[in-house]
Amino acid sequence: MEAETTIFDLDYILYSHFHPDHTAEFVPLIFATKYPDANRRKLPLTIIAARGWTEFFRGLKAVYGPWLELGDGLLRFRELNNQSNDFKKFSNFTLQSIPVEHNPESIAYRVTSSDGSSVVYSGDTDYSSNLIELAQGADLLICESALPDSKKVNGHLTPSAAGEIAARAGVHKLVLTHFYPDCENVDFRQQCRKTYNGPLLLAEDLMQIEVGT
Ligand SMILES: [Zn+2]
Ligand SMILES: [Zn+2]
């Protein structure tokens, strides 16, 4: 609502992997769609994720039962390959995905609109040559940068590592996101500038970024 839209306007949700910080809002979203006085979903909602999503959903259903059911075919699932590249065409965009270095089901996405503009989202990942391949020449790369350079952990990136990926992919703009509390009071721009010279933004809630023409 703060973004001046409603949950009924969402027609696709792309999950990068199943960790709770990425999927926990799925349950309240579906439940809110079922409120009796809010029976306003006309568009089907398609959930896109890597293989394993259906099983993950079955687990949620074991807990929540019919609270997670939407009638009339309004809830749909599309599973993508988590072992290699995948490609799907939708009515007004195409979707490419590629496995990244985090969980077995972790994939990064490239969304290309009908006018050719492209956004790549890393999901959570460690340094990934697959991500560099997927992001080649993208208009925008939204890349995780969970921790400062001095606190690098396995399975996550830092500003300079994300910058290196962006530079090698030749993206036109980089947005760093997924900041852990250790990122407070750290100069992320400066750390990212060690490896990347292009346009750079640090993500904030409700940020809107225009891409393409
Ligand atoms: Zn994760
Ligand atoms: Zn995460």
34 band by pLDDT with thresholds 50, 70 and 90: confident
- Could you tell me the distance, in angstroms and rounded to a whole number, from the CA of residue 213 to the centre of ligand 2? 31
Average of per-residue pLDDT across 131-137: 98
How far apart CA 160 and CA 166 sit, in angstroms, is 10
Q: In what helix (H) or strand (E) does residue 77 lie, and over which residues does it extend?
A: strand 75-80
Average of per-residue pLDDT across 34-54: 87
Predicted pLDDT at 16: 98
Whole-model pTM above 0.85?
A: yes
Q: Which ligand is nearest to the CA of 125?
A: 1
Q: Which ligand is nearest to the CA of 144?
A: 2
Which of the residue ranges 31-35, 48-52, 157-161, 203-207 would you say has the lowest mean pLDDT? 31-35
- At 140, list the tokens: 């925008």
Q: Which ligand is nearest to the CA of 147?
A: 2
Residue 199 in this model has a pLDDT that exceeds 80: yes
- Could you tell me the distance, in angstroms and rounded to a whole number, from the CA of residue 19 to the centre of ligand 2? 6
Fill in the DSSP letter of residue 132: H
- Could you tell me the distance, in angstroms and rounded to a whole number, from the CA of residue 50 to the centre of ligand 1? 14
212 band by pLDDT with thresholds 50, 70 and 90: confident
Which of the residue ranges 27-36, 100-109, 140-149 would you say has the lowest mean pLDDT? 27-36
Average of per-residue pLDDT across 164-172: 98
Average of per-residue pLDDT across 111-125: 97
Residue 38 in this model has a pLDDT that exceeds 60: no
Fill in the DSSP letter of residue 198: S
| 135 alpha-carbon distance from chain centroid | 13
Residue 39 in this model has a pLDDT that exceeds 70: no
